[in-house]
């Protein structure tokens, strides 16, 4: 199985900050990388698919980049509604695997 890691595991940031979250795969997964946002008590929400494609309806302050083993989710200007946990997930092979998550909270 492909192992996914994320860094940092948590971060504190202020509204307006630029936030970057990193995801790394244990082997090359090309661009088969998705990002999800989850708020407490809620289902995950797809943000980015295929490493850099923005899901319909997701604000453009979210962006994704990377290929191979290293990927990045960037929030260009953090908004109050962005405080949440973010997960990466590889869809290169079965089983699909998720990273452990990065919790973004208010500084």
Q: Which stretch binds another protein (CB under 8 A): 12-20, 27-35, 59-67, 74-82?
A: 27-35
Q: Tell me which residue of 105, 99, 88, 91 sits closest to 46, measured CA to CA.
A: 88
Options 20, 55, 63, 69; binder of another protein; rule CB under 8 A: 55
> If we measure between CA atoms, which residue out of 81, 90, 9, 96 comes closest to residue 49?
90
State in Å, rounded, how far the first CA of the chain is from the last one.
36
Residue from 2, 19, 34, 75 binding another protein (CB under 8 A): 34
Query: Where do contacts with another protein occur on this chain (CB under 8 A)?
Result: 30-32, 34, 36, 38, 42-46, 49-50, 53, 55, 87, 89, 91, 94-101
């Amino acid at each position: 199985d492909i192992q996914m890691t994320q860094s940092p595991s948590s971060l504190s940031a202020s509204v307006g900050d630029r936030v970057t979250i990193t995801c790394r795969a244990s082997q090359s997964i090309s661009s088969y990388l998705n990002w999800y946002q989850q708020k407490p008590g809620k289902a995950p929400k797809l943000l980015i698919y295929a490493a850099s494609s923005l899901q319909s309806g997701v604000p453009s302050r979210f962006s994704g980049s990377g290929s191979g083993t290293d990927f990045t989710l960037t929030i260009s200007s953090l908004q109050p509604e962005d405080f949440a946990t973010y997960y990466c997930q590889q869809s290169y092979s079965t089983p699909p695997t998720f990273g452990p998550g990065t919790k973004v909270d208010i500084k």
